Structure 1
Amino acid sequence: MTSPALAAVLWDMDGTLVDTEPYWIAAETPLVERFGGTWTHEQALGMVGLGLEDAARIFQEAGVRMGVHEIVDFLTDEVMTSLRTQGVPFRPGARELLASLREAGVRTALVTMSLSRMAETVVDLIDFDAFDVVIAGDDATRPKPFPDPYLQACEALGVDPRDTVAIEDSPNGARSAVAAGTTTLGVPHMVSLTGTGVHAIWPTLDGRTAQDVFDLHDARVARRTEENAR
């Protein structure tokens, strides 16, 4: 039975819903090399889940002689080209879980640090009504790991963050969701989520259904109730 306490499920996009992280990395390396710098795989992993303007400043420190917004637009255009030419690679089980939640009547939000034009491209390629709200990087008052993006999504949905589950793959995103007060589910992809404060870690979304998310949220509510009673 569905839990009436679960008001919404909040999804990260890159690395959680869709596997675009390799597209980002593929765009970053030649950008740095164009200006005579080097870009390691470890540096690329450190960018996962970071706000685009913060990422752009790191590229400037690596020698990229472009403005912050120029860098953001360039990388976004490169990734969108990859999406158009190579398709939208959904993470295992993500599309199916999202569909299961929608079929169960659960409200959903997409909370991403990608620009809204890229988020809208991904949403438009989903063949069902997937999200009630989209909060993108250019909508957020402050980027992840600040709680603002998730708080803005909850405000737009008219729900209490404590009544939501957020799904994240990156440390910055996980910290954002935890700080916002959501029940935060970590699904690691390219980097570890150890020490981020997530309430549960699933190695994959493959085979998961809406009922699993209801159970996760119910367990978190029960723990919180028990802690408050002590």
Structure 2
Amino acid sequence: MDGTLVDTEPYWMSAQSDLIESYGGTWSHDEALQLVGSGLGRTAQTMQAKGVTLSEDAVISLLTDRVMEQITVSVPWRPGARELLSAIREAGIPTALVTMSIGRMAEHVRSFIGFDAFDLVVSGESVTHAKPHPEAYLMAAAALGVDPIDCVGIEDSIAGVTSSAAAGITTIGVPHYLSLDTSPAHVLWPTLVGRTVADLAEAHSLQRAGDRMPAAPLTESPHS
């Protein structure tokens, strides 16, 4: 969700910075980048290490509230994401939103999409092990009643790509804040703009046929 469907990373970074500064600490952009794609438990622990005295649950709740407030004002959709998701739904393909944000945050974003985009949501509090562990994706596949090898995952972060690939899912990386060149993504797309269900099917077919991309994943043009 964060970074793939909506560009909420700046919202999270702003909320983190405000919280740490309220305790007299400092927070850099580089430090914030280290948390992209991580579970909120790790984020909360990092905030505590920077001097925040709130409990882990309180930190997660406070950061989530602040990000949700910003989303209500402006939903920062990632280019091409809603369009591709709409085409997937029109094709009758089951979908799951697999995010390490908490459930109420995921449902908040979901409410702005404008159509019934997902059959289910697997959120941060649904799992014992956060991304990059594969639990969240395995849980999503099981809930949809499909084998992970028949799934395609789209991710923007190293943790997310690692989680999806480790679950045995054909994984498409769409890098945003972080390079995915050395990640386990099976293919890299620079954007979702112009992408179609046929593009997803092709990526999946190539991966399952064993026609894998080179060690440094191939970066394709949006309409290749």
Matched, 1:57 2:57: no
Pick from 145, 153, 163: which aligns with 2:150?
Answer: 163
Matched residue of 2:69: which SS? helix
Give the counterpart of 1:134 among 111, 121, 127: 121
The 2-side partners of 1:55 and 1:174 are apart by 19
Answering whether residue 21 of structure 2 is matched by residue 36 of structure 1, we say: no
| Larger RCO (CA within 8 A; separation ≥ 6) | 1
Match of 1:207 in 2: 194
Of the three residues 65, 68, 77, the one matched with 2:56 is: 68
**1:152-200 CA-partner distances (Å, limit 9, x unpaired):** 0001001111110000000111111111110000000111113221100
| 1:20 and 2:8 matched | yes
The alignment-based identity, stated in percent, is 53
TM-score under structure 2 length normalisation:
0.92
Q: 1:176 to 1:100 in 2, by over 3 A?
A: same
* Structure 2 residue runs without a partner (length 5+): 213-224
1:121 partner letter: H
2:22 is aligned with what amino acid?
A: R
Structure 1 stretches of at least 4 aligned residues deviating more than 3 Å after TM superposition: none
Quote the Cα distance in structure 1 between the aligned partners of 2:22 and 2:114: 38
Q: Decide which of 117, 141, 166 is 2:104's aligned counterpart.
A: 117
SS of equivalent to 1:167? strand
- For residues 74-122 of structure 1, give each alpha carbon's deviation from its aligned partner in whole angstroms, at most 9, with x where no partner exists: 000000000112x211100000000011111111100000110010011
**Structure 1 residue aligned with 2:167:** 180
Match of 1:193 among 154, 177, 180: 180
CA RMSD of aligned residues (A): 1.1
TM-score, normalisation: structure 1: 0.90
SS at match of 1:47: coil
Distance in 2, matches of 1:194 and 1:72, equals 30
In the alignment of these two chains, the number of paired residues is 212
Q: Deviations over 1:36-79 (max 9, x none)?
A: 11101000011100100111001111111111001000000000
